[in-house]
């Protein structure tokens, strides 16, 4: 007998530990776990700085939607960068070091872009590594948000992450406008958490004559909802809006086709599902139509989309002439401002080296199965009336990534999360009552999902 969970079928023995182990044994991506350092229970219990205890029992880490764990390649890439710096000094900007996994510093952002573009579905020229998420949102809005007296509104998510909300609010105020009149928050229906595509399109219709920009998250951080980027982008653009996406929780999580979907711009961080380290360098996408440089009026008069400019947006061929004649690099790289941190780029390239060994399609395939298994175990032998929690993430796999948000009944959050912590299970909580659980396909296992549900049920029942 098979139990079906949103299109995925599980056999009668699927709730057993042995079945979870069999899924791990047969999964083609299982070996990728060994490319990461999973925090050990011993290290979690200690407050002293220590080397990772690789021989000790690992914790169950289900918090990759907040911060991914460390790839083993990080230390190799950092050591290569430090050795380059110490051995050749300033010449590291242009010298290709034999046996190093890193390009010369002047080309290191390009190295990252060549890998990142495959994750977001773009050409290498449409992607660059630079700055951090909120800084990049500010830079992109400086280019794409051009309010007029009649078209000044920005449409955003009702529960936008502060990166988006604060940045949007401040840009509106910067232009001398009133955020309460120019910010349009799109929320779900009463009592719901999912925002339907139909409702988003209706908001676009309602505000099209006064709206200049739509800026939404690809995956909503609180609920884990994956928005229909293609449909929403196409419709908003047909109504005269520019469209940007914050992909902080979508990058390296779900399949994206930013170029084919004609997205105007996007920004993301790389430290969640991307595993590049806390506060790691972010990424930017600018569609090729906005990154073109036209020299039809002469080499000294390039025509390009106005943006805030800096030295590193200047073309490499003239960057060191120091003549203060800006010749923008075509594509997203022309939006760079300053000399990027090579330490940060080394960490980013290290994390991307892992993604280069697989594809986002393969990762997504495992992710759908892993998250569905988590859902199956959580809901098995329960009903809506007896269950002390509610899954507020869409149950349709096409509308979510590697996350389930569990809304607990009032008063349970701290008790449950404390019990999970005691069991060395790391996941994320959001007040007033949500536990966010993120089974990441690169390093999480079906057995870990099974163990989590066992501990979660025990914590609920104590």
Specify the 3-state DSSP secondary structure of 295: coil
Cα 59 to Cα 42: distance, rounded to the nearest angstrom: 9
Tokens of 34: 């060994």
Residues written for the chain: 462
Q: Is 295 annotated as a binding residue?
A: no
Cα 299 to Cα 322: distance, rounded to the nearest angstrom: 16
Q: Is 324 annotated as a binding residue?
A: no
Whether the bond into 432 is cis, omega within 30 of 0: yes
283-311 b/e (C-beta count within 10 Å ≥ 16 → b)? bbbbbeebbeeeeeeeeeebebeebeeee
Bridge partners (DSSP) of residue 40 are 58
Q: Is 443 annotated as a binding residue?
A: no
**DSSP of 101-166:** SS--GGGHHHHHHHHHHHHHT--GGGEEE-S-HHHHHHHHHHHH----SSS-EEEEETT--HHHHH
Q: Is 221 annotated as a binding residue?
A: no
Contacts 24+ apart (CB under 8 A), 231-239: 231/197, 231/201, 232/197, 232/200, 232/201, 232/204, 233/261, 233/262, 233/263, 233/264, 234/261, 234/262, 235/201, 235/204, 236/155, 236/204, 237/262, 237/264, 239/204, 239/205, 239/208, 239/211
Instruction: Compute the CA torsion angle 446, 452, 457, 461 (nearest 10 deg).
Output: 160
Q: Is 43 annotated as a binding residue?
A: no
Q: Is 53 annotated as a binding residue?
A: no
Nearest Cα to 200, choosing from 234, 246, 250, 177? 234
Q: Is 175 annotated as a binding residue?
A: no
Q: Is 161 annotated as a binding residue?
A: yes
Cα 462 to Cα 455: distance, rounded to the nearest angstrom: 11
Q: Is 87 annotated as a binding residue?
A: no
Cα 444 to Cα 436: distance, rounded to the nearest angstrom: 15
Q: What are the CA-CA distances from residue 369 to residues 134, 272, 428 (Å)?
A: 32, 20, 21
Binding-site annotation, residues: 133-134, 161-164, 246, 249, 271, 311, 339
Binding-site annotation, residues for pyridoxal 5'-phosphate: 133-134, 161-164, 246, 249, 271, 311, 339
């Amino acid at each position: 007998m098979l139990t079906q969970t949103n299109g995925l079928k599980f056999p009668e023995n699927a709730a057993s530990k042995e079945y979870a182990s069999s899924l791990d044994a047969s999964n083609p991506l299982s070996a990728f776990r060994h490319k990461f350092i999973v925090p050990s229970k011993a290290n979690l219990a200690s407050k002293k700085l220590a080397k990772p205890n690789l021989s000790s029992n690992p914790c169950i880490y289900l918090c990759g939607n907040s911060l991914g764990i460390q790839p083993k390649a990080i230390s190799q890439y950092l050591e290569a960068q430090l050795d380059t710096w110490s051995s050749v000094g300033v010449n590291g900007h242009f010298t290709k070091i034999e046996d190093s996994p890193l390009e010369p510093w002047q080309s290191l952002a390009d190295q990252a872009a060549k890998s990142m573009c495959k994750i977001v579905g773009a050409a290498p020229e449409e992607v660059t590594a630079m700055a951090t998420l909120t800084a990049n949102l500010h830079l992109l809005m400086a280019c794409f948000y051009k309010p007029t007296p009649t078209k000044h509104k920005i449409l955003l998510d009702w529960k936008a992450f502060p990166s988006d909300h604060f940045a949007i609010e401040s840009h509106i105020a910067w232009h001398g406008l009133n955020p309460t009149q120019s910010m349009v928050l799109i929320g779900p229906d009463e009592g719901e958490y999912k925002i339907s595509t139909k409702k988003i399109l209706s908001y676009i219709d309602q505000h099209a004559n006064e709206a200049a920009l739509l800026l939404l998250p690809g995956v909503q951080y609180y609920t884990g909802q994956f928005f229909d980027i293609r449909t929403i982008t196409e419709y908003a653009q047909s109504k005269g809006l520019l469209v940007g996406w914050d992909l902080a929780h979508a990058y390296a999580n779900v399949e994206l086709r930013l170029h084919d979907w004609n997205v105007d711009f996007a920004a993301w961080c790389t430290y969640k599902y991307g595993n590049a380290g806390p506060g790691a360098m972010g990424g930017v996408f600018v569609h090729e139509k906005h990154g073109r440089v036209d020299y039809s009026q002469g080499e000294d008069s390039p025509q390009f989309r106005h943006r805030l400019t800096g030295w590193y947006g200047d073309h490499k061929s003239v960057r060191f002439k120091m003549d203060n004649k800006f010749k923008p690099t075509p594509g997203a790289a022309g939006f760079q401002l300053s000399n990027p941190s090579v330490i940060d780029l080394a960490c980013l390239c290290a994390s991307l080296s892992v993604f280069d060994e697989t594809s986002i399609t393969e990762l997504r395939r495992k992710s759908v199965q892993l998250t569905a298994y988590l859902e199956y175990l959580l809901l098995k032998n329960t009903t809506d009336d007896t269950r002390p929690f509610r899954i507020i993430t869409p149950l349709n796999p096409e509308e979510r990534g590697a996350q389930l948000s569990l809304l607990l009944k009032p008063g349970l959050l701290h008790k449950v999360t404390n019990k999970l912590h005691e069991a060395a299970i790391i996941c994320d909580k959001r007040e007033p009552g949500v536990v966010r659980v993120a089974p990441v396909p690169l390093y999480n296992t079906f057995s870990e999902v099974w163990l989590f549900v066992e501990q979660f049920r025990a914590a609920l029942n104590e």
